[in-house]
Structure 1
Amino acid sequence: MKPFLHVRGLRSGYAGGVVLSGVDLDAEEGGIIAVLGRNGVGKTTLISTVMGFVRPYEGSVTLDGREIAGARVDVIARAGVGVVPQGRRVFAPLTVAEHLAIAARRRPARGPWTRARILELLPRLGERLGHRGDELSGGEQQMLAIARALLGNPRLLLLDEPSDGLAPAIVSQVGEVVREVSAEGMTVVLVEQNLGLALSVAEHVAVMRKGSIVHRATRAEFAAAPEDRRRLLGVD
């Protein structure tokens, strides 16, 4: 089966420096792949390059057969890619309702993820519609970042460290949301350091080291290989 997301030989970096040194990555339609690795190996740069925030030096990124490598961010978004960035990047002065209204303006004419559907999935946001971004907890900000991305009705959702700084109960809720959108047919690339979250949702695992993918496995294979987890991630 041809992968929905197909990345080959992707090289990119900043100011001429190389961070990604030839990444190959595939994700099946409706599937969830977790990209794991220690700090500084290039995981966020990978997300940023696929989304268009960082222009690649070379390589290919195709989405359902369409080449998007090097395209503008707005072109990539319209092609069906949404991103939940590391750190949430919520606008402090804007209310939850204003965040959602701005995101809805970019929404395609059709798609299952409406404001009503999202507030049903994330009811806490419905209770906080009048609150500003800087009045939200970290977990509420993360749910708002996810809601913004879903309002674009992406076919591919990129999540960069969504569990960062969150309490275990909120991390569990993030996992439930990821499983829900995948069940609806959305493809998910989950960059994570929380191994528990990654293995609770992903069907496949890819491990990065020094700007490239050095290990691929199914979730079951990786969960059953403590020696690989210690060698690649330094965890049991």
Structure 2
Amino acid sequence: MTAMLEVRGLQSGYDGSTVLAGVDLDVAHGQVVALLGRNGVGKSTLVNTVMGLVRPTRGSVVIDGQEMAGKRPDAIARLGVGFVPQGRRVFAPLTVAEHLAVAEKAGRKGDWDRTRVLDLLPRLGERLGNRGDQLSGGEQQMLAIARALLINPRLMLLDEPSDGLAPAVVHQVGEVVHELCATGMSVLIVEQDLRLAFSVADRVVVLEKGSVRLDTTLEDFRSDPGRARSLLGVA
């Protein structure tokens, strides 16, 4: 498979500090890559740098053949990159319908319109008049996914989509990711919930101290539980 996302030698950080120390990573067309690692190793920094929210100090971010390192987030979104940030970042005073309208206005032309998004996430259709601060955590997460889909992405970045959610909602998130994969979308998912990560991923990339420690297939990663426990610090 050819790469939808190619990251090479990527370095970035905050306020002069280095968090990513030369990351190489690929996400092929139609592939789901789970980005794993202990807390503080740079997983969110990586997706934020790919999305243009953190400027790299060195390295390359090629998206569908175009160099995008250091470009603005709106330019990266227009190229077809959807982003579901950690914490969801829903605007409290805006209704669900208003969130969707903003996303539609900013989006590219494509198959993901409001009707299709609400077919995939029907609970949102029941809550169109509700403000962001009137939604449950699960509903806010579905709204964050809906906003990202309405830009008609070819690559979706998901940062800790299970964070703070009940198990039933986490399962629903997994089903949504499966649906996106069935459309041929590429997905890079940062996740601490290994059950969710393992249920959707084709490949696993493990970060350690700002660098890639392991890049392998899901089957290979799961074949060595001791290695997985050592890398991730889980019991």
TM-score normalised by L of structure 2: 0.98
Q: Percent identity?
A: 66
Aligned-residue CA RMSD (Å): 0.8
Distance 1:164 1:209 in 2: 21
Q: Which amino acid aligns with 1:230?
A: R
TM-score normalised by L of structure 1: 0.98
What is aligned with 1:112? 111
Q: Which amino acid aligns with 1:195?
A: L
Q: Which amino acid aligns with 2:139?
A: E
What is aligned with 2:10? 10
What is aligned with 2:87? 87
Residues 166-177 of structure 1 aligned to structure 2 (within 5 Å): 166-177=165-176
What is aligned with 2:162? 163
What is aligned with 2:22? 22
- Unpaired runs of 5+ residues, structure 2, are none
- Which segment drifts farther, 215-224 or 153-162? 215-224
SS in 2 for 1:128: coil
Deviation at 1:235, TM superposition (A): 2.1
What is aligned with 2:220? 221
Runs of 4+ in 1 over 3 A off after TM superposition: none
What is aligned with 1:181? 180
- Unpaired runs of 5+ residues, structure 1, are none
Deviation at 1:223, TM superposition (A): 1.5
Residues 140-151 of structure 1 aligned to structure 2 (within 5 Å): 140-151=139-150
Deviations 1:76-127 (A, max 9, x none): 111111100000000000110000011000122x311110000000000001
Distance 1:17 1:103 in 2: 33
Distance 1:213 1:179 in 2: 25
SS in 2 for 1:45: helix
Deviation at 1:225, TM superposition (A): 1.1
Distance 1:63 1:96 in 2: 30
- Which segment drifts farther, 212-221 or 5-14? 212-221
What is aligned with 1:44? 44
Deviation at 1:2, TM superposition (A): 3.1
Distance 2:48 2:121 in 1: 26
- Contact persistence 2:206–2:214 (CA under 8 A): yes
Deviation at 1:178, TM superposition (A): 0.6
Distance 1:234 1:217 in 2: 18
